[in-house]
A and B are shown apart, each in its own frame.
Chain A
Amino acid sequence: MSPALIAALPFLGALVPGLLVRSGRGVAACACALFTLTALIGLCLHAPAVLAGEVVAARIDWLPQIGLAASFRLDGLGLLFGILILGIGLLIILYARFYLDPRDPPGRFFTYLMLFQGAMLGIVLSDNVLLLLVMWELTSLSSFLLIGYWRHQPEARQGARMALVVTGMGGLAMIAGLLLLGQVAGSNELSDILLAGEAVRTSPLYVPALVLILVGAFTKSAQFPFHFWLPRAMAAPTPVSAYLHSATMVKAGIFLMARLWPVLSGTPEWFWIVTTAGLATMCVGAVVALFQDDLKGLLAYSTVSHLGLITMLLGFGTQAAAVAAMFHIVAHATFKAALFMATGIVDHAAHTRSIRRLSGLGALMPLTFVIAAVASLSMAGIPPLGGFISKELMLEQAAHTRWLGGPDVLGWIVVAATMFSVAYSLRYVFHVFTGRVETGYPARPHDPGMGLWLAPALLVALTVLIGAAPDASAGWLVAAAASAVTGAAQHPHFSVWHGVTPALAMSGVAVAGGVALLLLWRVADRVRAALPAPDAGRWHEAAVWTATRWSRGIADGLTNGSMSRGLGAIVAVIVAAGIAAWATGAAPAFSRPMLPVTAIALIGWVMLVTATGCMVFYHRSRLLALVLVGIAGLIVSAAFVYLSAPDLALTQISVEVVTVVVLLLALNFLPKVTPVESTAPRRALHGLVAVAAGGAFGALAYVIMRTGPAFPSIADYMVRNSYKLGGGNNVVNVILVDFRGYDTFGEITVLGIAAVAIFALTQTLVGGATGQKLRDLFGDRARAGDRHPLPLVVVTRILLPLVLVVAVYIFLRGHNAPGGGFVAGLLVSIALVMQYMASGFGWAEGRRSIPYHGLIGLGVLAAGITGAGAWLAGRPFLTSAYGYFKLPGLEEFELATAMGFDLGVFLCVVGAVMLMLQSLSRIARRAGETDDTSSNLDPAGGRR
């Protein structure tokens, strides 16, 4: 199975729960498990090759020119993480199936979970840093959705938001860092970057890239001082905490550091930043964890601490430390996921996670006790469990590392942190499961069914197995991963017993100290309570709140609610920018002679200027202004005819008619005059802005018309190939339906969406309280005496078939002469609108057999199908074909597939225009218009 397919499987699985939403939790969980299992099997099939040192790759080029490719690589590190993600994912799906309440929507949960799984798998399998970045952000997003899964809880929403802000910001930094890295290495492919380590480390961009990448990794992996989001993410359902916030997602930062280890590590900067951050995180997390009251809080801070430990090991920069880090990733994932699941079981059974309220649970829940105890002891690093081996490896490395001068400084700090780690691990067991049996539980706790305990039990068995047979159980995987990280074949040998070494002594001190610390817990807790407790999370909240307040202040200051102020400012800025560009740039000399001015052109110009001037002068009288706008539009159409643009003229004139009809219908409900509201100085200022804009725009147009094109136009290509490739003589139409058919396709879709939006707006207007308002406002208005004058009715009905014939003609000839789908559609709309106007809404609506929405859909569909038809011929979307046909009795004629596309345009235009006008008419009816059929030709047909 290709690594690309493996990475895609969880995403495919994410589609399934939504489809199965009615089938319940069990089916959704099974479907997800099936996809996860398939991906896991696919991954394991590659294991022999990967263990032999091969790198399995798959590559799908997307935009090779700028280095964008979906390329995947599966090496030892990817295999280790892939098995963790999918293996633990499988157990989590099982656990979540039984953990979720029947009232929790399972479709949403499993969809998010699979989305996360896919993103995480994408990170560890991707070989392109840009792909990796996309997946990285996807994990942040899916984590946000999962933390906020119980969206009715305020702390869930807050935790989700904080996690998104912190990891999202880190992600932004990392984008910059990885792009810098790609720049330095000369490639965005990880395979190339990994080979360019020497060049990267000596580059002047090394430090900026390193810092930016580490910010991304540290925020994701909750390293100090970005650790505060992780405990708050515990508002997520427990399966999520176990999966994302302990076993997998928070290890993405670790993964990235390990992935780039050969490139970035080995420098003093790397050592100091990474080791120090890891050490600080390890200590802070361990100390805070000991004093948590919430079981999940304890585990969250302990996760922070362990992530710090792994980071520190990677920071050491030695091969042995990298091996230890890989081992601890496996060890930590097994015991920590098990502990989270056990906590979920306790929460389910006792309805509380507060350690102060829990006591003696071991007697009531023996099975859970065993699971939790073994996992805790592994976390404490007690032999012979898996956690012991990795802790020993870590201590061994720490003992040999010089940090801050002294040879033993680091060692002792680590021992102290380990001491706290032992103490909180034991506290989890002894303060919860042993001691006096508490009787005041809301419900009597008991062991759960197998569905809940099976998953943690398997993990606990694994942690025991790792301790008992480290080489056989996990060693091979760790070795493969460490080889991939270090770039040199590693053959480590793991065992519980190493003989008496410094690490063993340190371990002994830590365990003894930890036990003592737990015995003195109450004293220690009082000391802790007396000390100040800084909370970075609260600072973060305060910072976010302040930023929000500032930006709101700026936004409110800029926009005070006055539209004309904002629009005026925009126009002024555009004009100023244009003038600045003009003043600083160089324009070519006027090379085109002017066309002579003819009398007819001058008359048109005078009419346009007069109409426009009058319109500004009389704009308060709205009906008059509308008539004047119509005149301006007509002159513009005439100008198009005069200047060799017959298609534009046809379109403009028909759009003009429909626009005026729309505005008239609207004016029916709006005030008929505009009152004077602005003061004279304000009007003068607006006039000044308007004249400046007009002057600038006119001057720009003049300069463009007088100068030649800056570079050769593509017009020649279109003119030359219009017939050869598009089969049409009307170049404008061929551009619309063929050369730029994609644009037209988008455009008719937009037109359809606009019409549907108008329809939706109408729904809210005519329904409910607003509809009543409409009736109150206009219900008692006087009506014209003869609303459907007989001559108008007769003429429009005679005109209808004529206009339809003309429309068909204009449509058919569109490919070779002015016309086409747009114009024909507008013409048909006008003919239909005339029926509505002359004979009444009821009469016309009663004779309509196709809903206008349907027409829009049909149009888009027809255009789409025509475009897709080109695929059958193996050509790209919207490639047209044409041919000549002869039918008996007719002349030879031409048929082009573009005709089908134009038909789609036609249908969409008719549907959209009619839906808009029909919506306006519906408002009229709601406002009290009735079907007045008294003077209609067939009164019976008017009633509905």
Chain B
Amino acid sequence: MELLVASAIGILTAAAVYLILRRRSFAVVLGMTMLSYAINLFLFSTGRLVRGAPPVLSDGAPAYTDPLPQALVLTAIVIGFGMTAVVVMMALGAFVEGGDDRIDMPSRDAGGAGE
């Protein structure tokens, strides 16, 4: 089971990184979504994998899994959504303003930025 989860994390990460290295904003947004899956799974897995022991107290439950990574991941999921939404909005704005959805700086703007 551990091997399955670890390989899933690895595959998700690889796909995410590949997409993030594309040049169009939509691919990058999808890549970031995938990356947050991978990272959430990773954070969750630091609590070690346990079956059938949710951290909800009940009489007679022999053990509970580590609740702390779960709490961390829960907030990370929600914040990840907020971040995705902001990035999507920026991508949309850039597309409408600039006419295309490339994420690279046009060569005329690169270098000598600022004053």
Contacts and interface: CB of A to CB of B under 8 A. Distances in A.
Contacts of B53: 644
A133 to B, nearest CB: 31
Contacts of A54: none
Contact of A645 (B30, B70, B103, B112): B70
A909 B85 CA distance: 13
Contacts of B113: 556
A750 B23 contact: no
Interface in A627-653: 629, 632-633, 636, 639-640, 642-648, 651-652
Given A595-B2, A639-B41, A723-B57, A567 B21 contact: yes
B17 A693 contact: yes
A690 B17 contact: yes
A800 interface: no
B93 A761 contact: yes
A757 interface: yes
Nearest to A733: B71
A646 to B, nearest CB: 5
B108 to A, nearest CB: 9
A736 interface: yes
A446 interface: no
A706 interface: yes
Nearest to B65: A644
B86 A629 contact: no
Given A655-B78, A697-B10, A645 B54 contact: yes
Interface in B1-27: 1-27
A540 interface: no
Interface residues of chain B: helix, strand, loop or mixed (majority): helix
Contact of B92 (A639, A640, A765): A765
B23 A701 contact: no
A847 interface: no
A239 to B, nearest CB: 32
Contacts of A605: 4, 7-8
Chain B interface category by residue count:
35 or more
B94 to A, nearest CB: 10
A576 B94 CA distance: 33
Contact of A701 (B42, B56, B77, B91): B42
B114 interface: yes
B113 to A, nearest CB: 8
A615 interface: yes
Interface string A603-620: 001001100110110010
B77 A655 contact: yes
Interface in B92-114: 92-93, 95-97, 101, 103-107, 109-114
A770 B27 contact: no
B12 A702 contact: no
Interface stretch (A254-262, A413-421, A659-667): A659-667
Nearest to A693: B17
A595 B1 contact: yes
Contacts of A655: 77-78, 80-81
Interface in A156-203: none
Contact of B97 (A642, A719, A770): A770
Give the 8 A-B residue pairs with the shortest CB-CB distance, closest first: A698-B10, A694-B14, A561-B110, A561-B105, A702-B6, A595-B1, A690-B18, A754-B82
Interface of B: 1-30, 33-34, 37-38, 40-42, 44-58, 64-68, 70-71, 73-75, 77-86, 88-93, 95-97, 101, 103-107, 109-114
Given A561-B107, A671-B24, A697-B9, 20 more contacts: A619-B30, A632-B37, A651-B78, A659-B84, A666-B26, A666-B91, A669-B92, A670-B26, A674-B26, A694-B13, A697-B13, A701-B42, A702-B6, A704-B46, A719-B57, A729-B57, A730-B55, A747-B79, A754-B86, A770-B93
9 contacts: A644-B53, A659-B33, A659-B84, A669-B95, A690-B17, A701-B6, A715-B67, A732-B67, A743-B75
